[in-house]
Amino acid sequence: MSRKYFGTDGVRGRVGQPPMTVEFALRLASAAAQVLAPDGGRVLIGKDTRLSGYLFEAALEAGFVAAGVDVQLMGPLPTPGVAYLTQKFGCSFGVVISASHNRYEDNGIKFFDGTGGKLSDALETAIEARLDEPATTVESRRLGRAVRVDRSRVEYQDFCRSTLPPGMDLAGLKLVVDCANGAAYKVAPRVLADLGAEIVPIGCSPNGRNINDGCGSTEPGLLQLTVPGVRADAGIALDGDGDRLVMVDHLGRAVDGDQLLYVIAKSRRDLGTLRGPVVGTVMSNLGLEHALGALGVPFRRAAVGDRYVLEMLRAEGGELGGEASGHLLCLDKATTGDGLVSALQVLSIMRREGAKLAELVAAMPKYPQILLNVRTAARLDLRGRPEIAAAVAAAEARLAGTGRIVLRPSGTEPVIRVMAEGQDETLVREVAESIAAAVRAAAA
């Protein structure tokens, strides 16, 4: 059964338009309760700072209580915090209301199982199979209860601090932290300050509408200006739900997920604690692969999406993986991507080695990468298109082994993504545009 609503990271869309409506959220809660807690149980609900979070929180609460599930309402908390506390509190499952790095007009609903991991495809399919049914209401004596537990966020803060090596703190570091006016606006500055760092907060004043607006990991421009402006040692940019990380060095240069993955992997290799291969995606920069290869560290590529990185890590016995967007997985520290925990790993390396972030990333080349989105009238099947195959073959011949070509359809819209990378930016752009032209002609 193909999934109609669940994408790579839960259900997401424009607020007020299907599926992100109050009525759908009520049915989703009912269906999820029947699959994940058929005999009753507890669910932890967290959210980011979007204005629409209130209405979806209320709808989910009603659906779960009506289905006989007790509800613990956490309020604004990073997605990885919900995953951690779901497991720590012994809940049957957890729910996050967030559209991650999207603007406030969008929202989404995603689930974690009782271990703090993302749901399997089978469980999501089972939930979808019940979504056409009316919401269930059990008999009165079996109704669930709801309680607010937002003060329990300190337990997540304690967990984050515990991921630093024993006895290490951040005293003497000056850090600018940009929380994207999102879910981490309380916990991230407090954790860093509690560890002794001097903090300059930006993007920490949410009003319900300014999440990811000119700030955070998707738009680190303000952070890049602020870090050298206040003479900070580094900058930390999270996204709206706190599971992505981009950093800025003391010179104001952005350091993306591929570069951060290299820093952590090299440190662990040097310490002898790196287990299994490092896993990126088909979009990870070729420079990461080459830099890890020079260290003798095996590198694998998964499909785009952190769930596929996670699947490959588990299959190959690895612990470290991620995407250039900053969604990093340190499975020895957390069950899911955690921007704050990832930042602490990098900061601990800076402290231990007495090095600036710029020095730690210097050994990884970052090759020019051109990404073109070709919109089509309908979804285009790339298989069986000899004209596109011929364009790709010609482009690969021009690159002559110095770069890569990746074509993939978007999972959410009729768009073909054309990516080319290599050492010569002019050549890379030319071959990307030649393939994009072939895709447009095939779609005409």
Catalytic residues: 100
198-202, strands of its sheet edge to edge: 198-202, 174-178, 234-238, 245-248, 254-255
Please say whether the beta carbons of 61 and 19 come within 8 A: no
Please say whether the beta carbons of 178 and 238 come within 8 A: yes
User: What gap in Å lies between CA 38 and CA 420, rounded to an integer?
Assistant: 48
Please say whether the beta carbons of 70 and 37 come within 8 A: no
Please say whether the beta carbons of 186 and 240 come within 8 A: no
**CA angle 289-339-103, nearest 5°?**
105
11-14, strands of its sheet edge to edge: 11-14, 106-113, 93-97, 41-47, 69-76, 146-148
Please say whether the beta carbons of 3 and 124 come within 8 A: yes
User: What gap in Å lies between CA 289 and CA 299, rounded to an integer?
Assistant: 6
